[in-house]
Amino acid sequence: MQRKLPLLTPENRAFWQGGADGQLLIHRCRACNRWFHPPAPVCPTCNSLDVGPESVSGRGTVVSFTINHQAWTPDLSEPYVIAIVELDEQPALRFLTNIVDSPVNEIAIGMRVSVTFLQCEDVWLPQFRKEAA
Amino acid sequence: MSTIGAAITGIGQSEIARPSSRSAMQLTVDAALAAMGDAGLTAADIDGVACWPGDNDNGNPFSPVGPLALKSVLGIETSWYGGGYEAPGPLAAVIHAAMAVAAGICNHVLVFRTITESSARQTDRTASSLANKTQGRDSSYFWQWYTPFDVRSAVNIIATYAQSHFHKYGTTSEQLGWIPVTLRDHAARNPNAIYRKPMTIDDYLASRMISTPLRMLDCDVHCDASTAIIVSRADAARDLRNPPIRIEAMGSALSQPWSWDQISLTEMATADVGRMLWSRTDYKPTDVDTAQLYDGFSILTLMWLEGLGFCPRGAGGEFVAGGKRIALDGELPLNTNGGQLSGGRTHGLGYVHEACTQLWGRADGRQIRKQDVAVCSGGGGPLGGALLLVKE
């Protein structure tokens, strides 16, 4: 089974397609300057409508992870790593993703990572890899 | 003393099978008739029907029967009915029923929950997979953020909660395993449980890793079953067959985003729910005779123990280790029918059924000694609700 991909909408398009230009785009409020995710047409902190996607550094920290060992469908190449990464831009600004290109037994909470994009059709999945020391 | 004014007056359950040869509707009718009969009521007395989540996905095995169908099949005339996924977890239908009663809309609400995930998996192993949540491209506000990254089951997300708890508090698999091991001992005394063969902590540690650190035996067991309860107005409950079990307090709060990756990874909704539950009663966690806490995955139960104040935050591993405290003769008998981990994934309402079974002294080989006060909880991640039940 291929990856299950999102339907693109005015709110999520920047997040899923920013990778075409090598950018991780996260929504930010221009009134209170807070970043937020998932993207939405309004700021969840101050309810300002002056919000939109902005480029972030793409650097962050693994706050939790799991190594999936279960062969849910034959096309999967387990083990693979599902992780939650917190971005450097703001505490608790985070999303679920994959950690790629590292042996699974090297993944740890606190590990420094940077974004890399996997293109699937018209979506660029923001995944992360271990940051070079 | 509670001001809700609602009480549970009857319970019923179909067979719990893996799989059942009975249809989803037949299982539902079995449970509903049993619950009405237990309360001493007939369909003519019922004026409300509630279900979580209800049939909102074309007969999906996660919830193949909704309130409208059951109302029609039983010929119930309702003043109110309701279902829907967007509510505080698997106990939401009980909370809604209590609201309907408290609002003066209903006298007796039939609350039910049917699940046929075992049958579904006979033909499709991925029947309960998250990847099947939507057809084609995922347009849902929340699920689209997980499934593209090959989250194929809830276990993948719950496993990140477990990893977080292990990391923050030093919880270990050797501690966590005592939840499934102890619950298997309870299931061994329950003739209706799916898995009854005793197991040890070594069996647990040897079981297959699914998504680190969660193993096969940390996951609940699919089944086909239906559970029903009757929620009655307090003054309409007194003359019925059973001593009313008062809904003393409810917890349904969520102060965090409704998103599985944005919520507190070590508390989920449990702390919000726990704070609300205990703020609305004079009872304390130490007054509770039995806890029936959601165990879709073992780590969720551990977090409920903490969130509901049965042990300090982060001390859940220590609390369950060795199994003594949570055993049938322990200080807090936990999931006394074997829970969903060994008893079967009745998904929520099974906890209420078992709590009432214990409070009414009907639990035979697994009966606990003191039987006045019970706590039930349902849900993981952003889904969470809890009930404090007191026998009158």
Q: Is B135 on the interface with A (CB under 8 A)?
A: no
CATH of segment(s) B6-124+152-391: 3.40.47.10
For B231-251, what is each residue's pLDDT tens digit?
A: 999 999 999 999 999 999 999
pLDDT band at B170 (very low <50, low <70, confident <90, very high): very high
Q: Indicate whether B132 pLDDT > 80.
A: no
Chain A residue closest in CA terms to B256: A44
Predicted pLDDT of residue B134: 66
SS3 A94: strand
Residue-wise burial string across B110-131, b where 16 or more C-beta atoms lie within 10 A, e elsewhere: bbbbbbbbbbbbeeeeebbbbb
- Backbone phi, then psi, for B386, in 5-degree steps? -145, 155
pLDDT at position A132 = 86
**Is B151 at the interface with chain A, CB within 8 A?**
yes
Shortest Cα distance, chain A CAs vs residue B312, angstroms? 22
Q: What is the chain B residue with the closest CA to A10?
A: B139
- Identify all chain A residues contacting B148, using CB atoms and an 8 Å cutoff: 3-6, 120, 123, 125
pLDDT grade, residue B2 (50/70/90)?
Answer: confident
Once rounded to an integer, what is the mean pLDDT over residues B74-95? Answer: 96
> Which pLDDT score, from 0 to 100, does residue A73 have?
87
Average pLDDT over residues A51-69: 98
Q: Does residue B41 contact residue B239 with C-beta atoms inside 8 Å?
A: no
Within 8 A of A123 by CB-CB distance, chain B residues are 148
Count of Cβ atoms closer than 10 Å to residue A8 Cβ: 17
CB-based contact B138 A120, cutoff 8 Å = no
Q: B9 near B232, Cβ under 8 Å?
A: yes
- What is the rounded average pLDDT of the residues B71-100? 97
**CB distance A69–B159 less than 8 Å?**
no
State residue A1's pLDDT score: 57
Segment B80-98 shows an average pLDDT of: 96
- Determine the Cα–Cα distance for residues B67 and B286; give it in Å rounded to an integer: 36
Point out the residue among B148, B155, B210 whose CB comes nearest to the CB of A4: B148
What mean pLDDT is predicted for residues B41-50?
98
pLDDT category at B102 given cuts 50, 70, 90 is very high
Every domain of chain A and the residues it spans: 13-130
Separation CA B192–CA A27 (nearest Å): 51
Q: Which of A103-112, B121-130, B208-217, B292-301 has the lowest mean pLDDT?
A: B121-130
B122 touches A: beta carbon within 8 Å: no
- In CATH terms, is domain A13-130 a member of 3.40.50.150? no
Q: Which helix (H) or strand (E) holds B178?
A: helix B178-187
Distance from C-alpha of A102 to C-alpha of B156, rounded to nearest angstrom: 19
Mean pLDDT, rounded, of chain B: 96
- Across the range B28-46, mean pLDDT stands at 98
Predicted local distance difference test score (pLDDT) of residue B1: 60
> How much of chain B is in helix, strand and coil states, percent to nearest 5?
35, 15, 45
State the pLDDT confidence band at B58, using cuts at 50, 70 and 90: confident
pLDDT of B391 over the 80 cut = yes
Residue B57, pLDDT > 90, answer: no
pLDDT at residue B32 greater than cutoff 80: yes
Identify the pLDDT of residue B140.
Answer: 83
Half-sphere exposure of B4 (CA within 13 A, CB side): 28
Chain B CA closest to residue A76 = B150
Instruction: Give the nearest partner residue to B160 out of A1, A65, A123, using CB atoms.
Output: A65
d(CA A19, CA A11): 16
- Calpha distance A4→B134 (Å, rounded): 9
Do the Cβ atoms of A73 and B208 come within 8 Å?
no
Place of tokens 């409920």: B304
Residue B232's φ and ψ, nearest 5 degrees, are -120, 155
Does B294 have pLDDT greater than 90?
yes
Whether residue B262 lies within 8 A of chain A, CB to CB, comes out as: yes
Mean pLDDT of B304-323: 98
